[in-house]
A and B are shown apart, each in its own frame.
Chain A
Amino acid sequence: MSADTPTPAAEPTNRSGFVKNAYEGLPSTLCSGCGHDSITRHIISGYWELGVNPHFVAKLSGIGCSSKTPAYFLREAHGFNTVHGRMPSVAAGAKLANNKLHLIGVSGDGDTASIGMGQFVHMVRRNLEIVYIVENNGVYGLTKGQFSATADIGSVLKKGEVNELPDIDVCTMAIQLGCNYVARSFSGDAKQMVPLMKGAISHNGTAMLDVVSPCVTFNNHEGSTRSFTAVKANDVPLHDLGFHPYFQTPEVELKPGEEREVELPDGSVIRMKKLAADYDPTDRMRAIATIAEAKAKGQLLTGLLYVNTKQNKPMVEHLKLTGTPLHALGEKECLIPQDAFEKIQNRWR
């Protein structure tokens, strides 16, 4: 090699030895400026920075604009674009077959709050180990702009129709159902969403992120409560967030009175810096009340709404699955031994 040819700098890798490209995906086919594309970038940052091996991730989705996004991140992870509203049960099945898989599920407000509400509810109840993202824009984009069940009362559609039905608050619902990690964020707020994403990845059980993500084509006009302008104006962050993974200790000491921290099952820590008022995200009843109070004031409360540090058993533990992925079990583990097999039949004589 001649002296004047510069050696190309080696592409940086994360702690698992992957370059960032392994966490990216195909170019998005969503509308230019779509909030969902920002969420995709935050998802990529979360996995890349934490150094999760993408080969052991399964990314799943339902149907809708949001559900197209798994094609746009983690190219080296198996993906499954399932059926409208039915991603949670497919994810549960995949986890049953291989308990070593890390699951991320992307859904929309149509998936979660309407057609797939039953699945969402039961996924939370089972405490499936999954990062469950709701890309929430209050509108059906792929069918060109009908209200979804998360649209606020009084919000106006592009065509002028006013929503008169109360919205379904998926965060309140998740908390009531016993979800152990419930956060809300805004697609445009990387500083908030990336730590929440990392917290969700580090959580063991269902971690729900409701991310308000304005639809630039069908819900970004005046009168919509989910336009970029409306969301920015009403966004009230609960705290400033920092995430410290278990493999890196925080550089600065916790400042009592100003900061709180919560330790996640893998030893990682989420640190919350007080903003207007102190907020304790481990108080379940307070969390539900705080969301309701903010809503009454027309505020969109964002941040880590609720986290349970003494969490319920996640699904795999509850089902007492063996450590070996079930798909890898062969004749030796599956067959009833011959003498026992014959005994069963003799009992029926």
Chain B
Amino acid sequence: MSQSSQIINDMSIQFATVNGSGSQSANNIITKGIFRMGIPVGPKNLFPSNIQGLPTWYTIRVSKDGYRARKKELDWVVCMNPDTLVEDVNSVQPGGVVVYNTDILPKGYTPTRKDVIYYPVPFTSLARDKVKDVKLRKMLVNVLYVGVLTELLSLDLEVIKGVIKDTFASKPKAIDANVEALEAGINYAKENLKKQDNYRLEKMDENKGLFLSDGNQLAALGSVMGGCTVCAWYPITPSSSLCESFIAFTEKHRQDGKGTKNVGIIQAEDELASLEMVLGAGWAGARAMTATSGPGVSLMGEFAGLAYFAEIPAVIFDVQRMGPSTGLPTRTCQADILQAVTLSHGDKRHPIIIPGGAEEAYEFARISFDVAEQLQQLVFVMLDLDLGMNIWNCQQLPYPTDGFKRGKVLTAEQLEKTKDWGRYKDVDGDGVCYRTLPGTDHARAAYFTRGTGHTEYATYSEKPEDWQKNIERLNKKWTTALKYVPKPVVDDKGHKVGIIAYGTTDLCMRESRDQMKREHNLDADYLRIRSVPFHDEVKAFFEKHDRVYVIDQNRDGQMEQLLRMNYTEGRITDKIRSVRHYNGMPLDARTVTDAILSFEKGNAR
């Protein structure tokens, strides 16, 4: 094999296993091993809505160029699931590699594709021979494939061993058992498999300052660092781990030695109660949040309207999954965007903040409490399953030095100096009024909060002019919000074509733009929306480009619709081209590139 034909640090590997068989730990070892070798790596877990028994896939993108999104084409597959084995063998692209367990072949089936390379390994019997502990055997069969790949792809053995040591730091026996299985896999490959493919992994130095974590965990950390003191939640995939991480962080960092807590957490009876508790806490002055997914957001509708109208700060993390209805609970999408902005009946609008990656999952969670308290409004932080539950590369997070911005809250002392306080009086002209908290020891502090019509002094009113004035003042907050929500990120080099995307789509955008340049000589500028309402930069981006592609991970082009609602002039809406992805898989560059180029090829440039 000639040196030049080698493919170094550029591939995708997919592991096909059975849910609940313990493959997660093996897959993490490989991911972290590649990461510690300094090679850019992006893993995605494609798992079923099930605890044990259904097929599950884990795919790893390795790229010397730093592309970390899922690669549409599969270069390698590791087949460990008899139920999907045929499908998995067929999923590899021509020239690819198939590692398969010869002990689980469906009756009468032998892999016969001529355009791929096979590495047959009797994993089940090998495990029986090499793993003495029967209980561990089922788990460690997966570590055998880590060993085989270590040998075939030249993974650094010491690095892999180090990962195993760290992974099982609290269980020394597990370290030995894992290392033994690893070595058994390596030895089997050495003795029985002849390297026929061109793929290789080599150390690089591209992961300096990075760590690996998932968005839910980072959003939980951001909530802790954002001063959130109340969390009420109801378990729902894919958001549960956000609250569970919040619990774990606060167990460690928000209590004294005796168990007294600087945080109040309730697992509520349903999503109605979780948002209502959050609103009760926000009303009484605490920074409060809940995390949920689409079905939970639907249930929270009534209270979102109350939050808007009664002007209560609160944060909802919506970790989006495929809907409608129960949908695909373990598949990703961006299909709650319209629902979040417009949740509840009547006139209302809620600001949403959309992190595009790991750093922003942390940072936007942290600042969302400032935004909510400064606006006295409900704020959504829109994650999705891909960001929330998959492992992302994250830059070292800076330690926050800016204080909490608690918004307009009057103390008893300040109230004493204020002659004419009205809870809903817009004295600053920004739509945001001064509030007092229950428990303020002053005769004039109390006011009556209600979801019904009210005057500036919080008294009940059905007068048309009171209603209209109030609902118009509330609308001012939409403009005021622009001061607090994150601006878009713009990469504008003055080209004719522009692309607008948001959230996790960002992960594949650099690669996709490189592909467009390479394959069609198309230079496209790029704007990433990070919040609704839209800043002026979004409009300017439309003004400056001939055609603007808006990428949505939903069927109906929800962000596109929001843009059309916002910019009604034909000279802007005529420029919009909608690209939509909605099969539940994390978006890949090829899909975006093909969609945009198919438009472009029919267009004069």
Contacts and interface: CB of A to CB of B under 8 A. Distances in A.
Nearest to A336: B253
Interface residues of B, number: 73
A335 B288 contact: no
A37 to B, nearest CB: 17
Given A86-B272, A89-B268, A97-B288, A344 B221 contact: yes
Contact of B286 (A327, A344, A349): A327
Given A118-B269, A348-B211, A330 B404 contact: yes
Interface stretch (B46-54, B433-441, B485-493, B561-569): B433-441
B285 A89 contact: no
Given A93-B230, A349-B212, A341 B399 contact: yes
Given A118-B269, A333-B262, A345-B396, A58 B438 contact: yes
Given A319-B265, A331-B227, A336-B224, A83 B451 contact: yes
A178 interface: no
A326 B264 contact: yes
B276 interface: yes
B268 to A, nearest CB: 7
Contacts of A22: 443
Contacts of A325: 285-286, 439
B400 interface: yes
A286 interface: no
Interface string A71-112: 100011111111100101111111111101100000000000
B446 A97 contact: no
Contact of B281 (A77, A93, A337): A93
Interface string B282-323: 111111100000000000001100100010000000000000
Contacts of A82: 276, 306, 451
Could you say which of A75, A97, A338 has the most chain B C-beta atoms within 10 Å of its C-beta?
A97
Contacts of B451: 81-83
Nearest to A319: B264
Contacts of B25: none
Given A89-B232, A337-B253, A345-B396, 18 more contacts: A54-B446, A56-B439, A78-B439, A80-B449, A82-B276, A83-B302, A93-B278, A94-B284, A96-B264, A98-B286, A100-B439, A118-B273, A119-B272, A324-B262, A327-B285, A330-B403, A334-B225, A341-B397
B447 interface: yes
B261 interface: yes
Contacts of A91: 280
28 contacts: A55-B442, A56-B439, A70-B448, A71-B460, A77-B438, A86-B272, A86-B302, A86-B303, A90-B277, A94-B438, A97-B230, A97-B286, A97-B288, A122-B269, A323-B260, A325-B439, A327-B287, A328-B285, A329-B229, A334-B262, A334-B404, A336-B224, A336-B225, A340-B253, A341-B397, A344-B221, A345-B211, A349-B212
Interface of B: 36, 210-213, 221, 224-225, 227-230, 232, 249, 253-256, 259-266, 268-270, 272-274, 276-288, 302-303, 306, 310, 394, 396-397, 399-400, 403-404, 436-443, 445-452, 460
Given A81-B451, A321-B261, A86 B403 contact: no
A336 B266 contact: no
A97 B280 contact: yes
A96 B281 CA distance: 6
A55 B276 contact: no
Contacts of B446: 54-55, 75-79
Interface of A: 22, 53-56, 58, 70-71, 75-83, 86, 88-98, 100-101, 118-119, 121-122, 126, 319-331, 333-338, 340-342, 344-346, 348-349
Contacts of A55: 439-443, 445-446
Contacts of B274: 89
A96 B280 contact: yes
Contact of B283 (A93, A323, A342): A93
Given A79-B449, A320-B261, A326-B264, A93 B284 contact: yes
